[in-house]
């Protein structure tokens, strides 16, 4: 083997080594907050006030039991409420946003570019700007008051999801496939449900994760909409805020960290389930390429 080949092979191994080293460092940095959360959830309130510790404490079961036995904080019910809202919002968001993106991508009609530009403009409007009018509307419509509908129905209109899926369709969904389905006599909804959605699985999985996480962690709108409801109907972020705002003498940081740790598990489970769709979609794309 020539000396030039040895140098090029050495350079290749060196670049690979540094690439893996950077990935390992970034992975560890991402895992540090989770480890800190686990450690603090296993320590008592007094131990946490003393400072950070690398080793877990002995109060993991104690904090868990103290949290579940607290009648003012129905944690399990709060997790169920948050899951109902987040799962419903995520399903409605990805389906109807995919349907909207499909209409913009597969159809040619007047004002098509103007419609897509309008969707982008709506995407740039912060939620806080429209919150006052939205809350006023909710309070004026009787069947929306103190229910989960105001948290679920608006997810049908998700401009950022429409934009992402529309951009993905530009590369993954040739219009010729849709036209071939039409020639074969397939109806539009049948084409969308049976042909388009399976092709769009990776993009839908990504946006489902983001939509679920955003709805799960949402505190601002639920705190306004569910302000007068019974504690058993409140979502998990409201209960966490309620625990944080407790009286100083009753405040327990170990219980708070345990509650935050429990709130993260459903997100991790959803990510692990949907990430398989992302990986399989990328693998299928590489095989086709």
**Residues ≥6 apart with Cβ < 8 Å to 99:** 192
List Cβ neighbours of 149 (8 Å cut-off, separation of 6 or more). Answer: 143
Nearest residue to 274 via CA among 190, 203, 199, 209: 209
Does residue 111 sit in the same domain as residue 37? no
What own/partner pairs with CB < 8 Å and gap ≥ 24 does 278-286 have?
278/202, 278/205, 278/206, 280/201, 280/202, 281/201, 281/202, 281/205, 282/202, 285/172, 285/202
pLDDT in tens, the chain (289 residues): 555 566 677 777 888 889 899 999 999 998 998 899 999 999 988 888 888 888 888 899 998 988 888 888 888 999 999 999 999 999 999 999 999 999 888 888 888 888 888 888 888 888 778 888 888 888 888 778 788 899 999 888 888 899 999 988 988 888 888 889 888 888 888 999 999 998 888 889 889 998 999 999 998 888 888 877 778 888 999 988 888 776 656 678 888 899 999 889 888 888 888 877 766 554 444 334 4
Does residue 223 share a domain with residue 189?
Answer: yes
pLDDT of residue 248: 59
Place of tokens 């419509």: 141
Domain of residue 122: give its range: 72-245
State whether 93 and 15 are in the same domain: no
Neighbours of 283 (CB within 10 A): 11
Each residue's pLDDT tens digit, 72-111? 888 899 999 999 999 999 999 999 999 999 988 888 888 8
Domain count, the chain: 2
pLDDT at 94: 93
41 and 81 share one domain: no
- Both 179 and 117 in one domain: the answer is yes
Are residues 171 and 141 located together in one domain of the fold? Answer: yes
Looking at the fold, whether 158 and 20 belong to one and the same domain comes out as no
pTM of the model: 0.84
């Amino acid at each position: 083997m020539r000396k030039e080949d040895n140098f090029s092979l050495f350079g290749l191994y060196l670049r690979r080594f540094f690439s893996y080293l950077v990935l390992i460092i970034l992975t560890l940095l991402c895992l540090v907050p989770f480890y800190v959360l686990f450690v603090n959830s296993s320590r008592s309130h007094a131990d946490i006030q003393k400072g950070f510790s690398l080793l877990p404490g002995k109060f993991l079961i104690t904090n868990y039991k103290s949290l579940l036995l607290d009648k003012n904080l129905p944690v399990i019910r709060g997790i169920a409420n948050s899951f109902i809202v987040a799962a419903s919002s995520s399903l409605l968001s990805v389906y109807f946003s995919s349907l909207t993106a499909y209409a913009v991508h597969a159809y040619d009609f007047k004002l098509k570019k103007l419609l897509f530009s309008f969707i982008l403009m709506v995407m740039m409007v912060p939620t806080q700007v429209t919150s006052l009018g939205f809350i006023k509307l909710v309070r004026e419509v009787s069947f929306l008051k103190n229910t989960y509908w105001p948290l679920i129905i608006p997810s049908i209109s998700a401009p950022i999801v429409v934009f992402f899926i529309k951009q993905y369709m530009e590369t993954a969904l040739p219009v010729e496939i849709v036209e071939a389905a039409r020639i074969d006599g397939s109806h539009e909804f049948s084409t969308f449900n049976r042909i388009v959605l399976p092709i769009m699985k990776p993009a839908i999985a990504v946006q489902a994760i983001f939509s679920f996480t955003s709805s799960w962690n949402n505190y601002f709108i639920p705190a306004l909409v569910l302000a007068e409801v019974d504690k058993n109907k409140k979502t998990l972020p409201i209960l966490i805020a309620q625990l944080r705002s407790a009286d100083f003498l009753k405040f327990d940081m170990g219980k708070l960290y345990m509650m935050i740790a429990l709130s993260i598990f459903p997100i991790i489970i959803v990510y692990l389930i949907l990430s398989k769709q992302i990986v399989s979609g990328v693998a299928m794309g590489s095989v086709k390429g």
